[in-house]
Amino acid sequence: MESVRTCVGCRARAPRAALVRVVAIDSQVVLDERGSMPGRGAWVHRTHECVDAAIRRRAFGRALRVSGSLDTQTLQNHFQRNG
């Protein structure tokens, strides 16, 4: 049975393969393509809409348990380029 995760953007449950993991490194949200980077991770759909919703709701900070602000510019740029 495939594991199920919840998207922090739209809050929908989906199979792990349908989502991408992100982690916080030095107050910056970084895409974890392999899903093997150390630390706490958050899951989001591979869509610009879900990433924007997570940023707007400040869901990355809560899911990653990071106090203060996170730099999400790299993540936003990735999803704007790759649609």
String of DSSP letters for 47-64: SHHHHHHHHHTTHHHHHH
Q: Is residue 40 within a helix (H) or strand (E), and if so which, with residue range?
A: none
Rounded distance, CA 49 to CA 42, Å? 16
| Domains of the chain, CATH where assigned | 4-82 (3.30.1230.10)
Residue 26 exposed, middle or buried by CB count within 10 Å (0-12, 13-18, 19+): exposed
83 — pLDDT class (breaks 50, 70, 90): low
pLDDT tens-digit profile of 5-51?
Answer: 999 999 999 999 999 999 999 999 999 988 889 999 999 999 999 99
State the pLDDT at residue 79: 81
pTM, entire model: 0.90
1 — pLDDT class (breaks 50, 70, 90): confident
